[in-house]
Every structure is written in structure tokens, then in C-alpha cells.
Amino acid sequence: MDHANHPRLTPDEMTEAVLTGAPIYGPEGETVGTIAHAHGTGPDMSVVVDVGGILGIGSKPVMVPLRELDMMRDENGEVHGLTRYSKDELKTLPEHRHG
């Protein structure tokens, strides 16, 4: 998939409602996880990405600053993101636990 022509999300679109459920793709175009939910708002927002697993089973939730993801829409308007991290690199992050 060529992401170069996909429109990037505007700051107004960076909301939990828009981002939740968005797949995240790694540097090789592989799916590395899915955004489970967001923390905060604006440029300092972080998202929890469920990494690995199948249908959420066996996945590891990790928190990633939103600024480290390149969020966009594809030709069908579906939100997705790119990261420079591989699935294995994301899995080395500390597990996010709900408060």
C-alpha cells in the first residue's frame, strides 16, 4: 500500500472517536497493531496500541505518543497510521495497564 498520497489527519481529527480502532502499519507495511483508546488531547496525546495477537486475544497494550505515528485516511476514508517501529520493537515497550 502506498501511503504517500493518503491525506493526513488534521489536528481537529485527532480525537479518540476518530483514532480508536485504526490499524497501525510498521516500516515494512505489516500490521503491527490497532489503536485501542487515547489519553489526553492535542499534540501531547498518547494512544494505546494493542500489539500482536489475533482479534485482540494475546495482544499487548502499549502506550505510544501520537506524534510518533503518521495518521491518515486511505482512498476509502478509513483511518490508519504508520510507525517506524516493528511489531517486535513495540512489544518491548512496557505494558499499559488501566488505572
Q: Coil, helix or strand for 87?
A: helix
Residue 37 vs residues 4, 16, 62: alpha-carbon distances, Å: 26, 6, 11
Q: Quick one: cell of 38?
A: 487515547
**Residue-averaged pLDDT of the chain:** 91
Angle at alpha carbon of residue 57, lines to 55 and 61, rounded to 5°: 100
11-91 placed in CATH 2.40.50.140:
no
What's the whole-model pTM score?
A: 0.91
Is 55 a residue whose pLDDT tops 70? no
- Rounded CA-CA distance 58/50 in Å is 9
Percent of the chain predicted with pLDDT > 90:
78
Q: What does the alpha-carbon distance between residue 59 and residue 20 come to, in Å, rounded to a whole number?
A: 16
C-alpha cell at 63: 502506550
At residue 85, does pLDDT exceed 90?
yes
Calpha distance 84→99 (Å, rounded): 28
Domain ranges of the chain: 11-91
Task: Tell me the percentage of the chain whose pLDDT exceeds 70.
Answer: 96
Phi first, then psi: what are they for 63, rounded to 5°?
-95, 135
